[in-house]
Chains A and B, each alone.
Chain A
């Protein structure tokens, strides 16, 4: 069974940093591309970042480009998102999500971790 478990969320002040983690199990992590998707309270889903299986390709939404960094450690079956220079509007539940090879739709999601940015 595919399992994705996020952690690392919390309450931070504007301008601060946070690192989110996603532990993967139940599948061969190192052959899958991965996404981060977020959802602000009461709002819809917003794609945040993508990383390829070998970390060579990374994409970011314009809203986070230059502030967030995605990475992964295939030896640890783990995905990360470094959030810097956080803003109020970054407050959201952050989901890690598995991307199906070749076709690129998302087929599995973690339960999410809440990041709250507030002074």
Chain B
């Protein structure tokens, strides 16, 4: 099974900050990685797929990079609506999620 490890688990930041979240796969998943945002009591929302492709309607301050086993989600200038939990997910072999990164207000 492919394991996904995100870091950090919690990130404290201020509006306007640039933040990055890292996701590591236990084996090579090429670019078969997605990022989701989830707010309390809501369903996850797709942000990025194939490691770096921005889903339609997602603000351009979100970006993804990486391939193989190392991936990054970046938010260039954190906005109030961005405080949420973020999950990476591999879909190279079945589907596995990272444990999540909670972005909270500093």
- Number of chain B residues close to chain A: CB under 8 A: 23
Whether the pair A106, B46 counts as a contact (CB closer than 8 A) is yes
A106-B46, A107-B49 in contact; A44/B95 too (CB < 8 A)? Answer: no
Q: How far is the CB of A59 from chain B (nearest CB, A)?
A: 6
In the assembly, what is the distance between CA of A6 and CA of B92, in Å?
A: 26
Q: A103-B49, A105-B89, A105-B91 are in contact. Are A46 and B43 (CB under 8 A)?
A: no
Q: Is the interface of B mostly helix, strand, loop or mixed?
A: loop
Is A82 part of the binding interface, using a Cβ–Cβ cutoff of 8 Å?
no
Interface residues on A, range: 20 to 34
In-complex Cβ contact of B43 among A50, A105, A112 (8 A): A112
Residue of A nearest to B43 (CB): A109
Q: A59 with B94: in contact, given A45-B44, A107-B46, A110-B43 (CB under 8 Å)?
A: yes
Shortest CB–CB separation between residue A102 and chain B, in angstroms?
11
Q: Which stretch of B12-20, B59-67, B96-104 is in the interface?
A: B96-104
Seen from chain A, the residues whose Cβ lies within 8 Å of a Cβ on chain B are 35, 37, 44-47, 50, 59, 61-62, 95, 100, 103-112
What are 9 sample pairs from A and B whose C-beta atoms fall under 8 A apart? A45-B87, A47-B95, A61-B94, A105-B46, A105-B49, A106-B34, A107-B55, A109-B43, A110-B43
